[in-house]
Amino acid sequence: MREIIFDTETTGFDHQGEDRMVEIGCIEMVNRIMTGQTFHCYFNPQRPMPEAAQQVHGLSDTFLSDKPLFKSKASGLLEFLADSPLVAHNAAFDFGFLNRELERCQEQPVSLDRMVDTVALARVKHPGAKLSLDALCTRYGIDRSHRVKHGALLDAELLAHVYIELTGGRQIGLGLASEKEEAPPETASTDEDREKRPFREARPHSASAEELARHAAFVDSIEDPIWKAGAAD
């Protein structure tokens, strides 16, 4: 199964207003294994970057000034996304900005039926716990030491590891071996092997007369045993 784990960085929180997407990072996952295929792009938002947003992701007006407009990369992004489910943390936020940018360049929005929200998954699996990406990385022992600021591709990679844990872990060894893999070594005994083995007398399994007598005495010592309750009827 192909899935896309993605994250966005923006100028703010209001996708319906003047805020814009400035970065998107997407990671392809097939059967819950990252394939190494990614889509990553920065965008010129055509508006000033608020200081508060820059403090989060570090993307300045100067850095974004020579980056492409979203419209010029929309077709490549949609081709990468294809019809796969899209996994995001607090997915309504990312879907809101993605679809607003698609709307601005007259492209069809991505169906919300494809949305997989890891916050919702984490809320069910860990009720009452902190649900931020940082908190979930800590819970699952995922190294985020290289995450100084938010970054769409980096956060998508961290989220991919979190998503694997939220959906059951890797479960190594449950798949069927491929035909290309070497067959396990033969372990069945041969006639020659059996001839080399030392002869052993069969071990007794029946109770001895003494053991049977001790068992009968124990049974007789039980007062009002349940198995005799209906004997008189």
Catalytic positions, written as ranges: 150
Q: How many CB atoms lie within 10 A of CB 58?
A: 14
Residue owning tokens 């097939």:
30
CA distance linking residue 39 with residue 53, whole number of Å: 23
